[in-house]
Structure formats: structure tokens, C-alpha cells
């Protein structure tokens, strides 16, 4: 991998880290089944306070991509249920698609196409249908459109676009109805029993029966403390990484070699020649044993391989590219580790043989 590619990956990771990704995607990881709780047979509404998260667009889109991918890959197929077991409402949906990578758009489109068979529904809430990409807008079956005002040519185009997303009703013109809707009135169209969009109708929307406006910080804390999962994600977990495990293994091997070396040196204090088994010189200065060098080479090769694979994966996710490899991760690691070990053993044996030749 070139240094320029490594630099690009590091810069992209640094942007995510500066936005808090190192803590947001830390341990313990979020369990999607926590979103599907019930209390006394009734579902629980979960609200993600994303007022700060929305100010970090890269982190927000990355989180959305992970959440949809996790739902799609984890939930089982349940067919066409009478009632969904989980429904997402994405408010201010236009913020989800501003500057979004093609990889995320493709993933959202894929999930929307297939997620209904897993008992999940998705609603996007925004000011205008034009805020949502056409490929995704075309997958939405239920539509609720409140009044739009057209004072500029751009607004008139948005009204026409919104009207074209509905199945026409012969009783009225949809584009005119959108501009004449009153407060609390909307145009609605839902899927019928055959799964086809019904004709658009004018309807009165029931006003919210909950509190109008944002809750206070005290109210929010009270609701959080009453949650069934309160405290589950409060304690950070710091697991041993693969790199740390390899360092521990290497340290134990070096420690055992030091003990053997000390024991052998005490028995052969009078020897002036280099002792190949113990790794000591004539002056009693310790040099690393061949096994230590081999393990160090293997550890370096394994770490470099994982770093290269991770870098390629992150780069593809950010750029939206897809790279197909004929070699699996396991094969790459084994191949690089074997090559590193072979080179190290050959080099050390050659040095020892040439060093023992006497002219």
C-alpha cells in the first residue's frame, strides 16, 4: 500500500475520531434488540436525542449506515406481518442525505427494498419530497403531505414533484390541493390490501395528544432513569486488542529465554566463545535469540496485514468503492506470516554459518 493511500485513510479516520467515533463505537456495543422492548404488552417508543450528533455529519451518516446494516443482517425473515415489530421515524431527513456517500445511499435503498420482510418500517420526515433521493423516494409506499407554498419557480417545481408522487384522484388536482391545504389538513396515500398505492385523498390529521415542544433536561433525565436499559451502556469496556495479545506473547517468550540464558551463563562462566543456544557474546552481552526474532517478524507481518486490510475496508466505505479479492483474510495473514518467518530464519542461519567459518 502506498504512503499516499495510508495518509488518506489516516486523515479520514482522524476526522471520525475528532467527531467522537472512538467513544461512540466503543464497547459495549449497542444491542439493536434494546429498541424492541415491550411493557405490559405494549411497545416502547425510543427517542434518539441527535441534536448534537446531527452537527457531526460524517459520524451521523456512519452511525446510520451501521444501524441499518446491523438490522438487515441480524433480524430474521418474518414475511408480511400485520403489524411491524419496529418502526423508524427519521426527522429532518434531508440532513441524512446531504453530502452522503454513494455507499450509504445504496445501503439505505437496499434496506428499504427488503426490510419489510423482517418486520421493520421506515418513515422519512422532511419539508419537501425533493429532499429525498429519487431511488429511495420511489421505494416509499405510505405518503402524508402537508401544505406547500409556491412563491418562486423552484417552489413551483417542488409542488409539482410532490404532486407527481401521488396516485391521481379524479375529484381534484393534486398540485392545486397541496397549495390550498389548511392547518392540520394533509394529502394522504397508503398501500391497499393488494400492496398498490391508493388514490390520494384529503384528510384531517389528529393533533398531537402529547406535550407540544421540547422537554426540559430534568424531564429527560427522569425518563432515562425509568428505562429498562438504564445504566447498561454507562461503563466503558477496554478489551485486549490483537496487537496487545501479540505483545504479551512476545514478552513471555523473551522472559523464558532470559531465564535459560542466565542459568546457562552461570554454568559456563569460563567459556569465551559465543554460545549459540543462550544468545550470549564473549563479553557477556545478551543478543536476541532466533525464536525472538522470528516471533517479532511474524507479529510485525500479522499487524501490517491487518492494518492494510482495515485500511482498504475503511477507504472503500468512505469512497463508496467495492474491491473484490480472491484471497481471504486468513490466507493473507498466514501467507505474510510464513514469508516473514522464512526470511528471518534464512537470514539468521546464514549469518551464523558465515560467522563460524574460519579462514
Q: Per-residue confidence of the chain (359 residues) as pLDDT tens digits? A: 778 887 887 787 787 777 777 777 777 778 888 888 888 888 888 888 777 777 777 777 777 778 877 888 888 888 778 888 888 888 877 777 777 777 777 877 877 778 888 888 888 888 888 888 888 887 788 889 888 888 888 888 888 888 888 889 999 998 889 888 888 899 999 988 877 888 999 999 888 787 778 888 898 889 888 888 888 877 777 777 776 777 777 766 565 555 666 666 555 554 444 544 444 444 444 455 666 766 776 677 667 766 666 666 656 666 556 655 556 666 766 676 677 666 766 666 566 555 544 43
Measured CA to CA, the distance from residue 214 to residue 217 in angstroms comes to: 9
And the C-alpha cell for 18? 475528532
Angle CA(342)–CA(346)–CA(349) in degrees, nearest 5?
140
What's the number of CA atoms in the CB half-sphere (13 Å) around residue 299? 17
Q: 0.85 exceeded by the pTM?
A: no
How far apart CA 318 and CA 185 sit, in angstroms, is: 42
State whether the Cα torsion 183-184-190-193 is positive or negative: negative
d(CA 243, CA 26): 17
Alpha carbon 344 to its chain centroid, in Å, reads: 38
- Say if residue 277 is exposed, middle or buried (CB neighbours under 10 Å; 0-12, 13-18, 19+): exposed
Amino acid at each position: 500500500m502506498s504512503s499516499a493511500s495510508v495518509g488518506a485513510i489516516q486523515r479520514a479516520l482522524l476526522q471520525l475520531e475528532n467527531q467522537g467515533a472512538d467513544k461512540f463505537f466503543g464497547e459495549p456495543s449497542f444491542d439493536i434488540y434494546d429498541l424492541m422492548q415491550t411493557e405490559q404488552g405494549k411497545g416502547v417508543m425510543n427517542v434518539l436525542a441527535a441534536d448534537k450528533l446531527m452537527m457531526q455529519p460524517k459520524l451521523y451518516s456512519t452511525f446510520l449506515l451501521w444501524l441499518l446494516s446491523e438490522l438487515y443482517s441480524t433480524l430474521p425473515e418474518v414475511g408480511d406481518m400485520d403489524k411491524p415489530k419496529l418502526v423508524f421515524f427519521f426527522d429532518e431527513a434531508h440532513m441524512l442525505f446531504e453530502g452522503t456517500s454513494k455507499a450509504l445511499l445504496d445501503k439505505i435503498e437496499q434496506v428499504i427494498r427488503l426490510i419489510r420482510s423482517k418486520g421493520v418500517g421506515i418513515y422519512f420526515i422532511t419539508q419537501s419530497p425533493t429532499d429525498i433521493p429519487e431511488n429511495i423516494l420511489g421505494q416509499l409506499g405510505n405518503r402524508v403531505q402537508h401544505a406547500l407554498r409556491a412563491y418562486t419557480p423552484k417552489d413551483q417545481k417542488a409542488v409539482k414533484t410532490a404532486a407527481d408522487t401521488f396516485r391521481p384522484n379524479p375529484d381534484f388536482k393534486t398540485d392545486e390541493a397541496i397549495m390550498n391545504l389548511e392547518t392540520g389538513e394533509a394529502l394522504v396515500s397508503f398501500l391497499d390490501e393488494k400492496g398498490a398505492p391508493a388514490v390520494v385523498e384529503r384528510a384531517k390529521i389528529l393533533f398531537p395528544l402529547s406535550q407540544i415542544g421540547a422537554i426540559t433536561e430534568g424531564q429527560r433525565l427522569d425518563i432515562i432513569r425509568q428505562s429498562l436499559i438504564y445504566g447498561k451502556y454507562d461503563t466503558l469496556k477496554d478489551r485486549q486488542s490483537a496487537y496487545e495479545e501479540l505483545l504479551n506473547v512476545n514478552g513471555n517468550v523473551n522472559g523464558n529465554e532470559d531465564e535459560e540464558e542466565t542459568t546457562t551463563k552461570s554454568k559456563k562462566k569460563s567459556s569465551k566463545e559465543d554460545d549459540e543456544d543462550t544468545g550470549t557474546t564473549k563479553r557477556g552481552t545478551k543478543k536476541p535469540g532466533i525464536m525472538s526474532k522470528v516471533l517479532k517478524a511474524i507479529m510485525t507481518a500479522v499487524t501490517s496485514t491487518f492494518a492494510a486490510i482495515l485500511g482498504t475496508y475503511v477507504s472503500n466505505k468512505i469512497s463508496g468503492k467495492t474491491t473484490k479479492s480472491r484471497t481471504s483474510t486468513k490466507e493473507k495473514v498466514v501467507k505474510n506470516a510464513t514469508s516473514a518467518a522464512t526470511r528471518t530464519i534464512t537470514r539468521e542461519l546464514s549469518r551464523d554459518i558465515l560467522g563460524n567459518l574460519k579462514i
